């Protein structure tokens, strides 16, 4: 069973019954929408500030979601995929975004709707990513627009697949 823990009087709240892997950790001031999943060894730590997660968000294996005390909450929109071992810290991520494996999104960054943060990219503090951008590199730079093909075949496909995968685990 996942570790869901109250900290400083804040208990995580879930809109429905999410899939929480046995080694997932969800702590403190966290509100999670409908149809979400938190996978193996992922940590959602709302101990120092609030974390607000929309609907149909998947937080993949080893990802870390955190904030900065009294300065930077974390807000994630709907239909977002946070890739394996990504770090998402005190930022705002709008709807239909893919944060790739091992990517880092730092405090007060804003990721526009329909964007892709490539695997291993580092989005620096205070960066504003325009909607529909493909960002890659260290530090992350805008490579091009996210076309319909990338949007449908990556952003939407991965989000849908993780809803399917979570259903397999809920069956048992």
Task: Assign 170 a pLDDT band (cuts: 50, 70, 90).
Answer: confident
Contact 7, 28 (CB under 8 A): yes
Q: What average pLDDT does the segment 145-164 reach? A: 93
Per-residue tokens: 72? 């930077």
- Check whether 75 has a pLDDT greater than 90: yes
Where do the domains of the chain lie, and which CATH numbers do they carry?
A: 3-171 (2.160.10.10)
- Check whether 109 has a pLDDT greater than 70: yes
Does the N-terminal peptide bond of residue 139 adopt cis geometry, omega within 30 degrees of 0?
Answer: yes
- Check whether 171 has a pLDDT greater than 80: no
Instruction: Provide the greatest CA pair distance for the chain.
Output: 45
pTM attached to this predicted model: 0.96
Task: Assign 172 a pLDDT band (cuts: 50, 70, 90).
Answer: low
Strands (E), 13-109: 13-14, 19-20, 25-32, 37-38, 43-53, 58-59, 64-66, 74-76, 81-82, 87-89, 92-93, 98-99, 104-105
């Amino acid at each position: 069973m996942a570790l869901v823990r109250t900290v400083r009087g804040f208990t995580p709240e879930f809109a429905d019954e999410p899939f929480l892997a046995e080694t997932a950790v969800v702590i403190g001031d966290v509100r999670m929408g409908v149809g979400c999943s938190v996978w193996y060894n992922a940590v959602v730590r709302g101990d120092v500030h609030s974390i607000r997660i929309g609907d149909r968000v998947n937080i993949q294996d080893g990802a870390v979601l955190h904030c900065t005390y009294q300065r930077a909450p974390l807000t994630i929109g709907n239909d977002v995929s946070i890739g394996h071992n990504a770090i998402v810290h005190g930022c705002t991520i709008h709807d239909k975004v893919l944060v790739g494996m091992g990517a880092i999104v730092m405090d007060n960054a804003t990721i526009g709707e329909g964007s892709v943060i490539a695997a291993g990219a580092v989005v620096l503090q205070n960066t504003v990513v325009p909607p529909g951008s493909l960002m890659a590199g260290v530090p992350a730079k805008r490579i091009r627009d996210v076309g319909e093909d990338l949007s449908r075949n990556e952003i939407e496909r991965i989000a849908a697949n993780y809803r399917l995968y979570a259903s397999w685990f809920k069956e048992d």
